[in-house]
Amino acid sequence: MSRDRSLLPYRPNVGAVLFAPDGRVLVCRRADLPNAEGAPGGWQLPQGGLDEGEDPRSAVLRELAEEIGTDRAEILAEHPDWLTYDLPPRLVGVALGGRYRGQRQKWFALRFLGTDADIRLDADPHPEFDAWRWVPIEDLPALAVDFKRDIYAELARAFARFARHD
């Protein structure tokens, strides 16, 4: 597999900024990404691949069902741009099946319509996450892995209005 980033495409992807009724955002801990001490780490927002010809709005709800066990959500907004990130050199040719240089993502803000009991990380036979929690949206950039930090900062800025309450 090629490690020359310029020869690899971006993987089409959708992502969800899922807001609880109190305005906090769902983050999930990757089961396969240890932190610096070797313990589980890698907090991220739910996201996943966009199948060829699939509508991104449908895909984001499908990804929620697959990754967190529920699609009890309504779409509030769509980020106007496709956001991209490049994998760090050490992961090019390794992550994402070794076929992509990074991801090209369409992000959505969604309101969670369920209860915490509806979130089931074990709904998939091969769960991607091993823990989840609700956090203030301004915490997103600090929780992200370094190569996704700029995207998370943009999402926190673009979707901040959904974290506010009267």
Q: Which domains does the chain have, with CATH numbers?
A: 5-163 (3.90.79.10)
Q: What is the full DSSP assignment across 7-56?
A: GSPEEEEEEEEEEPTTS-EEEEEETT-B-TTSSB--EE--EEEPPTT--H
User: What is the model's pLDDT at position 2?
Assistant: 44
Q: Is pTM beyond 0.75 here?
A: yes
For 75-128, how does the pLDDT look when each residue is reduced to its tens digit (9 = 90+)? 999 999 999 999 888 887 777 877 888 999 999 999 999 999 999 999 888 898
User: What is the model's pLDDT at position 58?
Assistant: 97
For 41-86, how does the pLDDT look when each residue is reduced to its tens digit (9 = 90+)? 689 999 999 999 999 999 999 999 999 999 999 999 999 999 999 9
C-alpha dist (Å) from residue 1 to 91, 93, 166:
12, 6, 52
Query: In whole angstroms, what is the distance from residue 62 CA to residue 71 CA?
Result: 7
